[in-house]
Amino acid sequence: MEVFNNIPIELNIEDVIKRMRLRNRSDNILAHIREMLETARPVARPKAICQVFYIENKNGDSLEIGGVKFTSRVLRINLDKVERVFAYVVTCGRELDQIEIPSTDFIKGYYLDQIKETAVVLARQYVEKYLREKYALGQVSRMAPGAGAGDDWPITQQMELFSLFGGRDKVEELIGVRLTDTFLMVPIKSVSGVFFPTEVRFESCQICPRENCIGRRAPYDPEMVKKYRPEEA
C-alpha cells in the first residue's frame, strides 16, 4: 500500500478558473478567488492511498479484486483482458475542509469549494502519473462506485472498495477520509475508484445519458452503450 500524506500540488488561479468554467473574469471575482487561494495554500495537504491488486473470478457481471467481489457489468467488461488494477482513495484533505467561512458568505464559500475541487483533481492526477511511471503503464482509465454509468456500479460498493485498504476505519486513520453510513466520503471533495490500463480511454460519462451534468468529462456515446448495455441500445 502506498500512502501519500502531503501531495505536492500548486494551487493557482488559472486551474481554479478552468475548473469553474468561468467566463466572467471581472476584477471583483478574481479578487475573491485570490483571497481564498491565499487562505487555502498554506494549509492545503491533499492525501491519498493506492495499491495494486490482481483480478480473479471474472464471471458474468462480477469479478474479484484482491479477493473482494465487485458487481458491475461495465467494470467487468473493461477489465476483461486486464490482470491488475490500482485502487485508490484521494482527498483534498481535512485541512482545507476545516477552513471556516461564515454561513452567510455564500460567495467565498463557493470559491473555497471550487479550490477544494481543484486540489483533489490535481492530487488524483499526481497519483495517476506516479502509478504510470512506477509500473510503466501506458494509457489508463478509471472507474468509481456510484460515478456515472447509472447504477451499474452502485455507490454501496464503496464499502468493498474501502475494505481493500483494511476497512473504513483504517482509511480514516491513514488519510482522514471518513466513509458515512450512506457511503459518502468526508471530506466531500474526495474521490475513490480504480485505475486500469486500457488501449482506448474510457469515461463513465460516455454511457450516462444525463444531460447538463456539470461533472461531464466526455459526451454521451450511443455506440458505446451498445457494447456495455445492449438491452438499452
pLDDT tens digits for range 117-142: 999 999 999 999 999 999 999 889 99
pLDDT tens digits for range 214-230: 554 556 566 655 566 55
CATH placement of domain 2-202 = 3.40.109.40
**Selected residue with higher pLDDT from 232 and 1:** 1
pLDDT surpassing 60 at residue 176: yes
Q: Which three cell numbers stand for residue 157?
A: 460498493
- Compute CA 95 distance to the chain's CA centroid, rounded to the nearest angstrom: 19
Pairwise CA distance, residues 67 & 51, whole Å: 14
pLDDT tens digits for range 44-80: 999 999 999 999 999 989 999 999 999 999 899 889 8
Q: Which three cell numbers stand for residue 54?
A: 490482481
For the chain, residues classed under CATH 3.40.109.40 are 2-202
Q: Average per-residue pLDDT in the chain? A: 88
